[in-house]
């Protein structure tokens, strides 16, 4: 059974077809890279998968379950997590509070108005462990506003990982990072266990190609090339629309 | 005992001893007003400060609870029934208000709440058989819980104080809870909260109900205090006034709305006795707060205090740095 299956997915904004009959089949544990020039519809595809945008046609299956009409807020409960291209965190709070919010999102405790969040030992411990995993354990209490861009990228990934997802969608996790930070994030992504399926959008081909097993090239909302690294890189269409000659 | 607990203890003693150190009964009544308006401001702060939803129709909900109390007492029902029914009707009205206004956020939310507040104000004017129209509804008695008659200003003050402390306790617990964290999360990053698995609309809806509960409590206290309710209470100016309390004191803080309520009520009731153009003074104070402490009096004062301490401690550090070879 596939981890994620998209069948004939279409989305148009007025006359602009941003996603056109996209089929995608991602195997469990696979590392899939989505590439394409700006405006190819990569982030829109992520928004369709996570339910932030409703498709006009087509279907989305997560481990065999049709989630096309499942509200976006329910999808994390089914094992789907994502990060954003533009960092979307809670800047007024500490790093650990950001992770606790991610943990609470899947916990029935989130409705409780009577308990003190700081006294929820298991939540705090799990959040701290998630931060250790991304190398931020030593600055867990630091306000997010006092962290570097690279640290915030790692907080984004830590929030997604804290939810123990089965499918993780990473939207340009290397964007805006320095060479050193890129190396750190790459190591972090390589350390994610195989029971997590990863679909990643990335423009930085140096790091992305090392990471990806299969690559899908989108152009004007359509899948035009798909295959393993060697096949996609060697394909003339890839050079024509994306890599250049 | 740390400084925070010490300050809280001093504040508690000061509040409990108000009837003993205030110069007269008039000022005890002013203190009662400050307390029930503080409960109103705490209620609005749930939405404005913690939910990021600015409501301009809360005076309508305040009025619904006050009118329900007045109307039921007029029908001859007892105080417990009137109070309970006012709470149920107040929170029920808030539920309808929330369903309608939460269709939008930002400017849209403000405009819908403004419109709903105006509808309630219009109803108070025109539904004469229930509200008495322009003449309003007068109350002739106050309750006597456990044999203590609230007709006396001091007893009424203590009843208000108990209700105020209860409301403050509810808020203090809520803001530290997972629900409070979720509500603040929906204020800062609703899209992210949705992607984390939170039902953003439902969180805002429950926040509206909590806000409505505190607003209804204060509406009931108000109608018992003035022993009169008229459409003027539901006017847009009343909604703006309580919003002013929240913003001037510091939205999203526990103490801010209380300080804001004290400021507005003091200017309205006490200063207005000495200055004819008290509205002008209130406006000037608000402009000064916005310029000097845009985050509100409480967080602004905290910031100034920290700055002062930093300045005091800096010279020593500079000397120590300079002393190094």
Asked if the model's pLDDT at residue B317 lies above 70, the reply is no
Give the closest-approach CA distance of A106 to chain B in angstroms: 6
Cβ of B195 and A101 within 8 Å?
no
Contact between B97 and B153 under an 8 Å Cβ cutoff? The reply is no
Give the per-residue pLDDT at A245: 61
Chains A, B: CB contacts within 8 A come to 86
Distance CA A189, CA B199 (A): 29
Confidence band, pLDDT 50/70/90 cuts, at residue B316: low
Domain that holds residue B128: 23-235
Closest chain A C-alpha to B253 CA, distance in angstroms: 13
The model carries a pTM of: 0.92
Contact indicator for A33, A188 with CB cutoff of 8 Å: no
Q: Is B157 inside a domain boundary? A: yes
CB A154 within 8 A of CB A180: no
Q: According to the model, what pLDDT value does residue B92 have?
A: 98
Beta bridge partner(s), residue A225? A217
* The pLDDT of residue B321 is above 60: no
Contact: B176, A52; criterion CB under 8 Å: no
Q: Does A1 touch chain B (CB under 8 A)?
A: no
Lowest model confidence (mean pLDDT) among A105-119, B77-91, B308-322 = B308-322
Burial (0-12, 13-18, 19+ Cβ within 10 Å), B196? buried
The pLDDT of residue B1 is 61
Whether B8 has a pLDDT exceeding 80, the answer reads yes
- Mean pLDDT of all residues belonging to chain B: 93
Domain(s) labelled CATH 3.40.50.300 in chain A stretch across: 1-79+165-245
Which pLDDT value is given to residue B324? 40
Question: Which pLDDT score is estimated for A35?
Answer: 92
Residue B303 falls inside a structural domain: no
Tokens representing residue B279 in the block: 């509205």
Find the closest chain A residue to B201 by CA distance: A73
pLDDT digits (tens, 9 = 90+) for A231-242: 988 888 888 888
Alpha carbon of A80: minimum distance to chain B alpha carbons (Å) = 9
Residue of B nearest to A74 (CA): B197
ipTM of the complex as predicted: 0.92
Residue B322 banded pLDDT, cuts 50, 70, 90: very low
Write out the H or E segment, with its range, that includes residue A221: none
Report if residue B91 sits inside a domain: yes
- We find that the CATH architecture of domain A1-79+165-245 is 3-Layer(aba) Sandwich (3.40)
Report residue B211 as tokens. 């806000």
Q: Is residue B247 part of a domain?
A: no
Interchain proximity B181–A52, CB inside 8 Å: no
Average pLDDT rounded to a whole number, residues B213-220: 98
pLDDT of A176 strictly over 90: no
Tokens of B304: 């100034």
pLDDT tens, position by position, B273-293: 888 888 899 899 999 999 999
Starting at the earlier edge strand, list the strands of the sheet with A31-35.
A80-82, A167-171, A197-201, A31-35, A214-219, A222-228
Probe site for chain A from B186, B195, B203 (most A CB atoms < 10 A): B195
Asked if residue B245 has pLDDT above 70, the reply is yes
pLDDT, residue A227, reads 92
Total number of domains in chain B: 1
How does pLDDT run across B153-171, given as a tens digit for each residue? 999 999 999 999 999 999 9
SS3 A39: coil
Write out pLDDT tens, residues B108-165: 999 999 999 999 999 999 999 999 999 999 999 999 998 888 999 999 999 999 999 9
Is the residue at B46 inside a domain? yes
In a domain, B293, yes or no: no
Chain B: residue whose CA lies nearest to A106: B197
Percent of chain A with pLDDT over 90: 76
Among residues 187-216 of chain B, which lie with CB inside 8 Å of chain A?
A: 188-189, 191-200, 206, 210
Q: In this complex, do A100 and B181 lie within 8 Å of one another by their Cβ atoms?
A: yes
CA distance B213 to chain A (A): 15
Closest CA to A160 of A53, A46, A2, A8: A46
Chain A residues near residue B198 by CB distance under 8 angstroms: 73, 105, 110
How does pLDDT run across A47-106, given as a tens digit for each residue?
A: 999 999 999 999 999 999 999 999 999 999 999 999 999 999 999 999 999 999 999 999
* pLDDT surpassing 90 at residue B243: yes
Q: What is the mean pLDDT of chain A?
A: 93
Q: Average pLDDT of B16-35?
A: 95
Q: Is B132 within a domain?
A: yes
Instruction: Write out the E strands in chain A.
Output: 4-13, 16-26, 31-35, 57-62, 65-66, 80-82, 167-171, 197-201, 214-219, 222-228
Is A118 close to B176, i.e. CB distance below 8 A?
Answer: yes
Alpha carbons B141 and A237: distance in angstroms, whole number? 86
Which of B52, B172, B175, B178 to mutate against chain A (most A CBs within 10 Å)? Answer: B178
- Report how far residue A45's alpha carbon sits from residue A43's, in angstroms, rounded to the nearest whole number: 5
Q: Cβ–Cβ of A82/B199 closer than 8 Å?
A: no
User: Could you say which of B182, B194, B195 has the minimum Cβ distance to residue A110?
Assistant: B182
Within a domain: B103:
yes
d(CA A111, CA A206): 44
CA angle B47, B53, B55 (to 5 degrees): 80
Contact A54/B at CB under 8 A: no
């Amino acid at each position: 059974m596939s981890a994620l299956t998209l069948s004939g997915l279409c989305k148009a904004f007025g006359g602009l077809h941003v996603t056109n009959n996209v089929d995608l089949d991602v195997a469990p544990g696979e590392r899939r890279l989505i590439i394409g020039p700006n405006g190819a519809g990569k982030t829109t595809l992520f928004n369709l998968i996570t339910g932030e945008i409703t498709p006009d046609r087509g279907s989305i299956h997560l481990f065999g379950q049709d989630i096309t009409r499942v509200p976006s807020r329910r999808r994390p409960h089914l094992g789907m997590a994502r990060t954003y291209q533009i960092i979307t965190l809670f800047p007024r709070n500490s790093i650990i509070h950001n992770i606790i919010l991610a943990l609470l999102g899947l916990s029935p405790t989130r409705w409780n108005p009577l308990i003190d969040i700081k006294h929820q030992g298991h939540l705090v411990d799990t959040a701290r462990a998630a931060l250790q995993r991304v190398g931020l354990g030593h600055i867990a209490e630091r306000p997010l506003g006092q962290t570097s861009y690279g640290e915030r990228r790692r907080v984004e990934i830590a929030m997604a990982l804290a939810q123990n997802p089965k499918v993780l969608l990473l939207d340009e996790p290397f964007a805006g990072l320095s060479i050193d930070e890129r190396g750190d994030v790459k190591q972090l992504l390589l350390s994610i266990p195989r029971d997590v399926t990863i679909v990643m959008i990335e423009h930085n081909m140096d790091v992305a190609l090392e990471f990806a097993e299969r690559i899908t090239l989108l152009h004007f909302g359509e899948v035009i090339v798909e295959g393993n690294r060697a096949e996609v890189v060697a394909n003339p269409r890839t050079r024509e629309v994306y890599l250049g000659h | 005992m740390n400084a925070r607990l010490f300050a809280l203890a001093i504040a508690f003693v000061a509040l409990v001893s108000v009837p003993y150190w205030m110069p007269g009964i008039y000022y005890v009544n002013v203190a009662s007003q400050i307390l029930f308006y503080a409960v109103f401001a705490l209620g609005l702060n749930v939405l404005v400060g913690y939910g990021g939803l600015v409501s301009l129709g809360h005076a309508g909900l305040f009025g619904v609870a006050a009118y329900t109390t007045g109307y039921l007492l007029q029908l001859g029902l007892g105080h417990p029934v009137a109070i309970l029914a006012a709470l149920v009707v107040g929170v029920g009205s808030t539920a309808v208000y929330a369903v309608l206004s939460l269709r939008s956020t930002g400017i849209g939310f403000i405009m819908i709440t403004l419109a709903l507040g105006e509808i309630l104000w219009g109803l108070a004017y025109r539904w004469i058989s229930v509200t008495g129209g322009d003449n309003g509804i007068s109350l002739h008695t106050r309750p006597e819980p456990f044999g203590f008659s609230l007709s006396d200003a001091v007893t009424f003050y203590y009843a208000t104080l108990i209700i105020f402390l209860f409301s403050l306790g509810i808020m203090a617990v809520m803001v530290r809870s997972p629900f409070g964290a979720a509500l603040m999360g929906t204020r800062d990053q609703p899209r992210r909260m949705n992607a984390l698995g939170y039902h953003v609309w439902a969180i805002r809806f429950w926040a509206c109900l909590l806000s409505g509960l505190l607003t209804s409590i204060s509406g009931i206290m108000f109608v018992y205090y003035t022993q009169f309710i008229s459409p003027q209470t539901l006017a847009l100016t009343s909604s703006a006034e309580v919003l002013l309390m929240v913003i001037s004191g510091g939205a999203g803080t526990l103490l801010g709305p209380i300080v804001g309520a004290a400021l507005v009520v003091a200017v309205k009731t006490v200063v207005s006795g000495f200055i004819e153009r008290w509205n002008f003074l209130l406006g000037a104070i608000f402009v000064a707060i916005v310029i000097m402490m845009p985050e509100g009096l409480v967080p602004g004062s905290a910031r100034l205090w920290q700055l002062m301490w930093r300045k005091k401690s800096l010279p020593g550090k500079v000397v120590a740095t300079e002393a190094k070879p």
